[in-house]
A and B are shown apart, each in its own frame.
Chain A
Amino acid sequence: MKSWVDLYGEHQWLRGMHDREVANELRAVLRRLSEKPYAALRRDAQSRLVEARAPRSTTVQYTLGRERSGEALLLSELPEPVRDRVALREALLSVLLRFDRSVQRLQELNIMLSGLRLDGTPWALAVHLPHEDRTLGRPQGDREGLGACGHAALHCHVGPTLDVKPKIRVPLPPLRPAQIVEWMISQAIPTPEFEPAPWPGVEAMLHPS
């Protein structure tokens, strides 16, 4: 049990972050993903990470795409050797983040990539970190489900859709939003061009000579 309690603690620790810093990290990833020759997103995707806040509120939210509609992956426009490795016909990336700026804390995260496989069947990846506030309507806060193993606070759904049973919730290490986007893209486009931590680079960092 201790490992699961520790993981829950790490997820709580992860929430401490400054929204503007997170937004800049995300923009850096989105910019890289929208620049040629390996552009998986439409040009200047980084400018479509949209900040919004209600007047006199400390809550700040970020969404991706015009009208919060997400950003389509340009899978068919990828150069040929890369395109051949992609097993999806289409995919849409959405990012939904909510912060309390006054305490520099991530309240809620939902980053999703969903679309169609080459055979036309649906496919979805969705990383969730539920809102931590315990309210009358949600007394459990981010402690959803039965426990910290079966329903870890930061978890990823994998499936044809999010409603198909059994509902899979893979516990995730405490990854920041930009790294979650990097990971998702690496799953959809499994080529060296979209791998942010190639093994030779990892080796060089582990054993600098």
Chain B
Amino acid sequence: MREPGVAIAGAIARDEGGLAFITCPDLDLRDWLVREVESLVPSDARPFRTSSVAEALGEPNRMALIIPNDEAEVVRDLDACRDQALEPPRTQPIVLFLLRDGDGHHTLALEAPSAWSWAGGSDVDPEALAELDMDAEREAFTAEVGTTPEEWLVPWRSQDVPRTQENFTRAFWAMTLE
């Protein structure tokens, strides 16, 4: 399983001063994902929110979280001003929040090759990553433990398995998969 927090942190850290896209399923979740990114980044990144590419470029030493009012326009602006992000060189990235299948992604795919190349694959959809592939996870559990989750939980529930940290974690996971 690819872990959402690790994927976000990786996308942001991949290129110092680079560009990363965070994909959000809807506007409600976008606000939560902005807060999630704020909670994930190191304190010295000093993240700030903006809807403007010019403001983001004006703060090369802070992480800019762009929450666009008009996604397509922001993507076009970014596409046009990649050079401005090179001088002075940014020490913190720009993170752009885009709706899944929204105007921003559409514009990015069709009209913004420079922004796309600038991001260099730093495109994360954390909500999609959080969804488990149950068949694969059950298979992995069985391969690791030697029994199915349901079989493993029988002795656990009758208190016949030691209450270790490892076993608590295994029980928690087995209950997710049963």
Contact = CB atoms under 8 A, between A and B. Distances in A.
Interface of A: 20, 23-24, 27-28, 31, 35, 44, 46-55, 59-61, 63, 66, 68-70, 92, 94, 96, 98, 108, 110, 112, 114, 124, 126, 137, 161-163
Contact of A48 (B1, B6, B132, B162): B6
| Residue from B9, B39, B131, B163 with most neighbouring chain A CB atoms (10 Å) | B39
Contact of A63 (B40, B163, B169): B169
Nearest to B6: A47
B164 interface: yes
A126 B163 CA distance: 10
B3 A110 contact: no
B163 A163 contact: yes
Nearest to A51: B130
Contacts, number: 100
B176 interface: yes
B130 to A, nearest CB: 4
A50 B4 contact: yes
Contacts of B1: 52
10 contacts: A24-B36, A24-B38, A28-B39, A50-B5, A52-B130, A59-B176, A61-B176, A68-B173, A112-B165, A126-B168
A68 B165 CA distance: 11
B42 A92 contact: no
A137 B150 CA distance: 13
A46 B41 CA distance: 8
B49 to A, nearest CB: 15
B39 A24 contact: yes
Contacts of A66: 3, 6
B69 interface: no
B3 A70 contact: no
Closest 3 A/B residue pairs (Cβ):
A47-B9, A162-B163, A27-B39
A68 B132 CA distance: 14
A79 B165 CA distance: 28
Contact of B40 (A47, A53, A61): A47
